[in-house]
Amino acid sequence: MAAKTVHLAVYDTFADWETGHTTAHLTQNGYTVKTVAATDAPVTTMGGVRIQPDLTLDDVNPEDSALLILTGASLWDTSDDLAPFARKARAFLDAGVPVAAICGATAGLAREGVLDHRTHTSAVSFYLAATGYKGGDHYRDEDAVTDEEGLLITAGPTEPVAFAREVFARLGVYEGEKLDAWYRLFHNSDASAFEVLES
């Protein structure tokens, strides 16, 4: 049986708004979301919300997970504190378990070398170029991107809905017409899409 647990990385300055759609709809569709931090101490998000982590990075194994999610955070650009999360993402990908990274987390993956040979996106190309990574030829100027292997999902900070769309497609939460309707409803406020979702 496929793992039905999604691991959400949490850390101080975690960008609250970037995964709300993703985690809410995953839990409504049979997935359990577990928060993962560097230690078992509470973390405080960018919005001032305190989160008590469920697990530490050392407790998380790719074989027990359907997906690892990494959000943006100020710390990605101001210190090396979050580098262990990028290393864990590499371990997931090496094990064939998908990773979804948005905003500053893409820079963390760039520094780790994860984006050097995988199709990806981010806020803008020069944001990642500043990391010194070697993956510039694989950058795509799109709202969200899933690489050719279907293992790495990336998005920029203004695209939490597109980010969620890619996650849902990868995990089979919504597919085809329903996936398109979900995106139209939450991205475009297209009320006509609601009928498709309810059918």
Please tell me the distance from the alpha carbon of residue 41 to that of residue 145, in angstroms, as a whole number: 33
The Cα 67–Cα 192 span in angstroms is 31
Q: Which residue do the tokens 């990075």 mark?
A: 57
Q: From the CA atom positions of the chain, what is the Rg in Å?
A: 16
> Which listed residue (36, 103, 162, 193) is catalytic?
103
Q: Please say if 103 is a catalytic residue.
A: yes
> Which one, of 72, 153, 58, lies nearest residue 114 by Cα?
153
Please give the positions annotated as active site: 103
